[in-house]
């Protein structure tokens, strides 16, 4: 096998693997209908990226890697089948790479990108391979090819592709109902996580604050639990406080105080994300002082409380789209944002809004105003009768309105007379709008102040 063709190559998960395979010496190319911030990096490495899906593109390919978003009527898929070229999913390629190494897989409904990125950052000194679902500022990319056997990756449960993995160590941040269009029920999701845990070879780090994980860890001997709420977990955070917009906490591991640490990224959920990272960094021999330095300097992965502009007006770009993620982001924001806070939310997928509609009740509590934008469909048809009016009613915020045009959003932000923070939230293309507005008013960088 020499030439690998990626269908949907600009996806955050696909592009990372394309980069790894290119750095390993393979001839890599692919196609995607849209360009984004990873396209230029791939092209700088010599990867040919086609701007359209064409049957002729795949000629000469030995292997096809297809994004889970690609339909079977894609012309490249059809031609590959006609030619008998092997087609695999992204998750299968990740497994082919990771399962030969000492893999550390980070799974969970929420928090896996931040946790895997934080872990990658803290273990950079031991030269791991990293494949995560966001841009890690320390490496300026979503992937790096290391020289050791350590392989850190984000494990995707959305389509059960994480079940191809057999990691040495796994982290499970939480389990919750999501991607029900694929799983059907929370019970099915839990069955998948149970299988993932069964496939972990050595040690499983599980957040003890999530009720859905409790029944899955009963009777297992290779479990380490972590918590910010319980005193009997293996790894706990205590004495949590906010000092000068930094989150300060003490970590206790196996009953013994390990040290005090600070985070620049806000929110209790990020303390939870940090606990298994601190434990593994210690396990891999990273000095405690170095752990503290790296944690404090960690600013999060791209689109995870990404501060695009910080002046009288602050513009934050955040990936939160599930009600639980929205609540966590707002909780974190309120620990450091002292001015009026306005959430600008782009719902993601009609199916997700439909399945989680009731969960949106109260999810924006804590902000001064909510602005709803049209649903980012991700190619779905609205077969569920989803409307923004229904979502607005379910959210139940007394200051919630619907704004459909990007230019009207920009007028609201630039016309704000008071000091205010605008939280742009969603998994779709709302990030582009946040960046455009930040650029137009004078972008100052990603610092947290």
Structural domain 99-297, CATH architecture = 3-Layer(aba) Sandwich (3.40)
DSSP secondary structure, 123-170, as one string: TGGG--EEEEEEEETTTTEEEE--SSSEEEEE---TTSGGGG---SEE
What pLDDT tens digit does each residue of the chain (449 aa) get? Answer: 799 999 999 988 899 999 999 999 999 999 998 888 789 999 999 999 999 999 999 999 999 999 988 889 999 999 999 999 999 999 999 999 999 999 999 999 989 999 999 999 999 999 999 999 888 888 888 999 999 999 999 998 888 999 999 999 999 999 988 887 888 898 999 999 999 999 999 999 999 999 888 889 988 999 999 999 999 999 999 999 999 889 999 999 999 999 999 999 888 999 999 999 999 999 999 999 999 999 999 987 777 888 999 989 999 999 899 999 999 999 989 988 989 999 999 999 999 999 999 999 999 999 999 999 999 998 889 999 999 999 999 999 999 999 999 999 999 999 998 999 999 999 889 999 999 999 998 744 433 33
Q: Considering 22, 76, 113, 176, which one is annotated as catalytic?
A: 113
Sequence-distant (6+) residues with CB within 8 A of 67 are: 6, 7, 8, 11, 13, 14, 89, 90
Reduced to 3 states (helix: H, G, I; strand: E, B; else coil), residue 336 is: helix
Respond yes or no: is residue 112 known to be catalytic: yes
Topology annotation, domain 306-441: 3.90.190
Q: Considering 22, 112, 282, 294, which one is annotated as catalytic?
A: 112
Where exactly are the structural domains of the chain?
A: 3-89, 99-297, 306-441
Cβ distance 129 to 151 under 8 Å?
A: yes
Query: Which parts are annotated binding residues?
Result: 108-114
Cα 195 from Cα 186, distance rounded (Å): 14
Query: Which parts are annotated binding residues for ATP?
Result: 108-114
Q: Considering 76, 101, 154, 168, which one is annotated as catalytic?
A: 154
Residue (of 155, 358, 362, 248) closest to 343 by Cα position = 362
Respond yes or no: is residue 154 known to be catalytic: yes
- Compute the half-sphere exposure of residue 193: CA atoms within 13 Å on the CB side of its CA: 27
Cβ distance 167 to 91 under 8 Å?
A: no
Asked if the 3-89 domain carries CATH number 1.10.10.10, the reply is no
Cα 104 from Cα 152, distance rounded (Å): 5
Respond yes or no: is residue 113 known to be catalytic: yes
Cα 308 from Cα 362, distance rounded (Å): 27
């Amino acid at each position: 096998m020499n030439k690998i063709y990626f269908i949907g190559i600009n996806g955050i998960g696909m592009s990372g693997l394309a980069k790894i395979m290119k750095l390993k010496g393979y001839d890599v190319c692919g196609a995607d209908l849209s360009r984004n911030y990873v396209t230029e990096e791939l092209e700088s490495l010599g990867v040919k990226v086609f701007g359209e899906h064409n049957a002729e593109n795949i000629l000469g390919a030995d292997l096809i890697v297809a994004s889970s978003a690609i339909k079977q009527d894609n012309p490249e898929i059809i031609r590959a089948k006609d030619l008998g070229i092997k087609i695999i999913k992204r998750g299968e390629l990740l497994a082919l790479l990771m399962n030969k190494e000492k893999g550390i897989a980070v799974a969970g409904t929420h928090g896996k990108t931040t946790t895997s990125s934080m872990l990658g950052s803290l273990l950079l000194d031991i030269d791991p391979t990293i494949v995560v679902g966001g841009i890690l500022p320390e490496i300026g990319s979503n992937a790096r090819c290391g020289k050791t056997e350590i392989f850190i990756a984000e494990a995707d449960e959305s389509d059960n592709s994480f079940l191809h993995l057999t990691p040495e160590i796994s982290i499970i941040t939480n389990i919750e109902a999501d991607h029900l269009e694929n799983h059907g029920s929370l019970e099915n999701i839990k069955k998948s996580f149970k299988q993932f845990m069964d496939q972990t070879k050595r040690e499983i780090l599980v957040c003890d604050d999530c009720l859905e994980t409790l029944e899955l860890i009963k009777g297992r001997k290779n479990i380490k639990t972590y918590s910010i709420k319980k005193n009997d977990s293996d790894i706990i955070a205590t004495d949590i406080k906010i000092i000068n917009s930094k989150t300060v906490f003490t970590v206790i591991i196996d009953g013994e105080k390990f040290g005090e640490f600070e985070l620049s990224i806000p929110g209790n959920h990020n303390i939870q994300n940090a606990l298994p990272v601190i434990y593994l960094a210690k396990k891999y021999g990273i000095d405690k002082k170095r752990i503290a330095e790296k944690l404090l300097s960690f600013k999060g992965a791209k689109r995870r409380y990404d501060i695009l502009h910080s002046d009288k007006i602050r513009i934050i770009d955040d990936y939160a789209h599930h009600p639980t993620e929205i609540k966590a982001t707002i909780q974190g924001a309120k620990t450091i944002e002292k001015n009026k806070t306005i959430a600008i939310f782009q719902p993601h997928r009609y199916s997700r809004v439909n399945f989680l509609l009731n969960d949106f009740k109260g999810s924006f509590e804590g902000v001064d105003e909510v602005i709803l934008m049209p649903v980012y469909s991700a190619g779905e048809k609205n077969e569920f009768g989803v409307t923004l009016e229904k979502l607005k009613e379910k959210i139940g915020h007394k200051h919630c309105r619907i704004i459909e045009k990007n230019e009207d959003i920009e007028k609201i932000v630039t016309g704000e007379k008071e000091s205010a923070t605008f939280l742009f939230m969603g998994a779709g293309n709302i990030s582009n709008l946040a960046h455009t507005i930040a650029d137009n008013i004078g972008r100052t960088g990603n610092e947290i102040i």
